Amino acid sequence: MKAIIQTERERGGVEVGERERPEPGPDEALVRVHTAGLCGSDAHAYKYVPGYEFIDVPRVMGHEYAGEVVEVGSDVTTLSSGTKVVEEPIHDCGVCFQCRNGQPNVCRNFEITGFHRDGAWREYHTVEAHHFHEIPDDVPLEEAALTEPTSIATRAVLERSVMTAGDDVLVEGPGPIGVLTALVADSVGANVYVSGLGQDAEYRLPLVEEQGLTAINVEKANLGEIAERETAGGGFDVVFDTTGHHSGVEVAAEHVRKGGQIVVIGLPGSESELFLTPLVRGEVSLDASYGSVWRNFEQALRLMANGSVDPTAIAEPYDSDDPVTAFEKFLDGAVCKPTFRFGE
């Protein structure tokens, strides 16, 4: 069967190859993969940036996907052939302190599909049945394939933030997580602004505007003047930083209102020189949101099912026979969420 495989520890070391069709173990399900997405973590692995040295190659990539169960192991009673599913790709150990404390998303011994083990960028994929969520009947597979990034957004907005309807919200970064965070915030009645750089002006910021949200090119507009003019409290009630750059949280600190909140979703690296005194004096909450849990997947699927959020708005199909083009377009900011089709 066809698979997209990382074969080298350097940028561009990805190719299409052949793998044996896997057989499900007693507690596993075999899934025919329909659509799969490419995310920022995949791009970091593709570039083999520091922090991703743990990935062994060759390895089948991919952790965002939707498909249909075609076979189950002898011990599986929760799924059957024909069930449409998405996987929770972060597999917690279930026994460490964090897992027992209800925080499996920060498990001390987690494994991630497509990083610690072969992933789902292939025609057939196996995983333990308890990692799957059943897809509602009225959610198409190409939409459900983006459940995992949408679940990250639902966690950030609905659980980790104090945002309420009517709040003025800034989302920094018009990448996949940024746009999905903005869509979830918009779905519950916030006044949403999304900021980006000049490199985002050609594709990603116009995409934001197509969703009925306000896009801000910070290289042409003064974010401080906009915050002062458009918000009631002299700054945004909540700022979500999805940039993955140390400057994101620094800019957030400049434009959040006193008494407001910053939620960091992107991984900003180690170079930040954030001056904390204004945050303390303004009693600004600085919080983080990482990954998602079972509840967030269910929230994401329900938002899709009732039409509140359509993640396919950010998707752009690419040929699964040419993954390098999808990666390079993504890294250039020419696309928001590349997807690959493996089945019909």
The reported pLDDT for the residue numbered 158 is: 98
**Distance between CA atoms of 108 and 93, rounded to whole angstroms?**
8
The reported pLDDT for the residue numbered 171 is: 98
The reported pLDDT for the residue numbered 90 is: 94
* Length in residues, the chain: 344
CATH superfamily for 162-288 is NAD(P)-binding Rossmann-like Domain (3.40.50.720)
Q: Is 112 helix (H, G, I), strand (E, B) or coil?
A: strand
Question: Which of 261, 267, 303 lies closest to 279 in space, CA to CA?
Answer: 261
Q: Is 135 helix (H, G, I), strand (E, B) or coil?
A: coil
The reported pLDDT for the residue numbered 52 is: 83
The reported pLDDT for the residue numbered 268 is: 81
The reported pLDDT for the residue numbered 48 is: 86
CATH superfamily for 2-149+292-341 is Medium-chain alcohol dehydrogenases, catalytic domain (3.90.180.10)
The reported pLDDT for the residue numbered 73 is: 96
Consecutive 10-residue averages of pLDDT for the chain (344 residues): 93 93 97 96 88 89 98 96 97 97 96 95 97 97 97 98 97 97 98 95 95 96 94 94 90 96 88 84 95 97 96 95 95 94 84
Q: Are 125 and 119 within 8 A, CB to CB?
A: yes
Domain residue ranges of the chain, discontinuous segments joined by +: 2-149+292-341, 162-288
Cβ-Cβ contacts under 8 Å for 307 (sequence gap 6 or more): none
